[in-house]
Amino acid sequence: MAKRIHEVRDAVHGFVSYDDDERTVVDSAPFQRLRHIHQLALTYEVYPGASHKRFEHSLGVMHLTGRVFDTITRPDKISDSVRETIPEQSQSDFGYWRAVVRMAALCHDMGHLPFSHAAEKELLPEDTDHERLTWDIVHSDAMTEIFDRLSPPLRPDQVGKIAVGPRKAEKMGLGVSFNAWEAILAEIIVGDSFGADRMDYLLRDSLHSGVQYGHFDLERLLGTLRVMPEPAREEGEENGGSADPVLGCERGGLQSAEQLLLARYFMFSQVYHHPTRLAYNEHLKDFLKAWLPDGHFPTDVDEHLGRDDSDVLLAIKQAAADSALPGHEPARRIVFRDHFKSAYEKQAKKLASDANSSEFDGDTSANVQALVEAAKERYGPDMIAHGAPPSRKLPPEFPVWVREGSDYGSSWSTGLSDVLRRMPESPDEFVLADAGIRDDVADWLKKNREQILTESREKLVQEVESEVPQ
């Protein structure tokens, strides 16, 4: 009997369709928990509309993953150079792999902590992150039982590894290997350049935040994606030293890809790294470290699934009203909006006045850290914080399918796009201070910046010299 197709309205994609098997997972307790996990933590304190949840994002990622899969497996998209990697639509396992990759996309965020990424590194043991928790949930008895009942049954190891991707799987020591096809499927979801996860969160976060920065030409980009050989790195080097194919775009989609990466840059600069958002992250992190047993979230699957944002919000409200409870001060700052404010922003690198000079001026993260430590020493550690978002990599390069004479081949995007070559790193990093002393801190840092940084460099030199054997 054919599976029924269900539809749900979505603010970004209009309608998201899913079949009976996918609905079984959507209706499961681990997935329904995502209704109560904010996509952007406390960002709604800055952008009031940004109260959307991981639930609808995961549906959107499944939707986009299915569309990308359908595009790259079209016969006219498969060149001879990758034909052995991509199963043909007539093959019996074609439908199976489509089901696996959509299911992996649906499950990819199940491991998120309450309030998503906020201080994840400091609130989980060193060898654990939300991807590891996702892997464990996919392999839990409850989810394994669901996968066994599907038609056809899905293997948890295949769903799990495609949900986390090769790099995370290796980092976590899962002991799983990826063939070329499985690596492509994982890239459809979590790829640096064209991952469905990234495409959905940029569009969704932009919409709900009420900003325009996350927009790009989704339809044009989706229509130009294809699998191709990895481009050569050096003259005479074939396939970049790798025989495995990779996900890229056709030459006609290059501008849409530029839009995507520019959208990412602007969303980080204007939304994700907004200083007030970073301040709320610091207060939330401080509260959770005080409130949680041993300062860490549990990694047991059942305990993890038993907690969501509502539990944390209730605890924050209670702690804010009772000075005897753990985490009272950061909870008070959150509830009564007595958040830290920016007293100093990391100075972006810029060209020196001499146009012929390659010298750059600007701050490093070490500079900002030195200013934070100096301010803490002067004003007290409870009055100053380092607004330092996770480091972001430079814009990724990706392969582009281009005409080479009478034939076609792949080239790296940075060799074709001035926009990508010149795209800056997001400079956002802040010294955050209590609102009552913010102006004084700002003036003091401006006046003493050079002296603080000079003393910091001298101290570092002394430490290095002291470690050198005499």
Q: Which of 258, 283, 308 is the last residue of a domain?
A: 283
270 and 173 in a common domain: yes
Mean pLDDT of the chain: 90
pLDDT at 354: 38
Compute the average pLDDT of residues 438-462.
Answer: 93
pLDDT in tens, 3-42: 799 999 999 999 999 999 999 999 999 999 999 999 999 9
366 and 255 in a common domain: no
Whether the pLDDT of residue 361 is over 60: the answer is: no
CA distance 409 to 401: 6
Residue 291 in any domain: the answer is no
Q: Which residues pair with 7 in a beta bridge?
A: 17
Q: What is the 3-state secondary structure (H, E, C) of 162-191?
A: HHHCHHHHHHCCCCCCCCHHHHHHHHHHHC
pLDDT at 362: 63
CA distance 45 to 38: 12
* Percent of the chain surpassing pLDDT 90: 71
Closest CA to 15 of 5, 27, 24: 5
What CATH number has the domain bearing residue 258? 1.10.3210.10
pLDDT at 415: 86
Q: What is the residue whose two structure tokens read 């520019």?
A: 262
344 and 277 in a common domain: no
- Number of domains comprising the chain: 2
349 and 275 in a common domain: no
CA distance 347 to 216: 28
Q: What is the residue whose two structure tokens read 């995502």?
A: 34
379 and 277 in a common domain: no
241 and 144 in a common domain: yes
233 and 351 in a common domain: no
146 and 37 in a common domain: yes
Q: How many CA atoms lie within 13 A of 367 on its CB side?
A: 20
Range of the domain at 95: 5-283
Contacts of residue 91, defined as CB under 8 A and 6 or more positions apart, other chains included, come to: none
pTM across the whole model: 0.92
Q: Which of 218, 248, 283 is the last residue of a domain?
A: 283
pLDDT at 393: 62
Residue 453 in any domain: the answer is yes
156 and 23 in a common domain: yes
pLDDT in tens, 204-263: 999 999 999 999 999 999 999 999 999 887 655 554 445 579 999 999 999 999 999 999
Q: In what order do the strands lie in the sheet with 341-345?
A: 341-345, 430-433, 384-387
344 and 274 in a common domain: no
Residue 130 in any domain: the answer is yes
pLDDT at 108: 97
pLDDT at 360: 39
Q: Cα angle vertex 391, ends 61, 397, to 5°?
A: 60
**What confidence tier does 450 reach under pLDDT thresholds 50, 70, 90?**
very high
CA distance 147 to 246: 29
Closest CA to 51 of 210, 267, 285: 210
170 and 26 in a common domain: yes
* Percent of the chain surpassing pLDDT 70: 91
Closest CA to 348 of 265, 278, 283: 265
Residue 248 in any domain: the answer is yes
191 and 73 in a common domain: yes
Q: Is 348 exposed, middle or buried (0-12, 13-18, 19+ CB in 10 A)?
A: middle
Residue 316 in any domain: the answer is no
**What confidence tier does 353 reach under pLDDT thresholds 50, 70, 90?**
very low
pLDDT in tens, 165-191: 999 999 888 889 999 999 999 999 999
**Phi, psi (deg, nearest 5) at residue 431:** -95, 115
**What confidence tier does 355 reach under pLDDT thresholds 50, 70, 90?**
very low
Highest mean pLDDT among 115-119, 266-270, 378-382, 416-420: 378-382
pLDDT at 352: 38
Closest CA to 427 of 462, 453, 388: 388
**What confidence tier does 359 reach under pLDDT thresholds 50, 70, 90?**
very low
- Residue 150 has a CB neighbour count (10 Å cut-off) of 17
Residue 334 in any domain: the answer is no
Residue 301 in any domain: the answer is no
Q: 435-442: long-range contacts at Cβ-Cβ below 8 A with a sequence spacing of 24 or more?
A: 435/338, 435/339, 435/340, 435/341, 437/379, 437/383, 438/340, 438/341, 438/342, 438/343, 439/343, 441/343, 441/344, 441/375, 441/379, 441/384, 442/343, 442/344
CA distance 234 to 338: 55
Q: Which of 283, 299, 318 is the last residue of a domain?
A: 283
* Antiparallel, parallel or unpaired: β 399-404 and 245-250: parallel
Residue 211 in any domain: the answer is yes
Question: Helix, strand or coil for residue 46?
Answer: coil
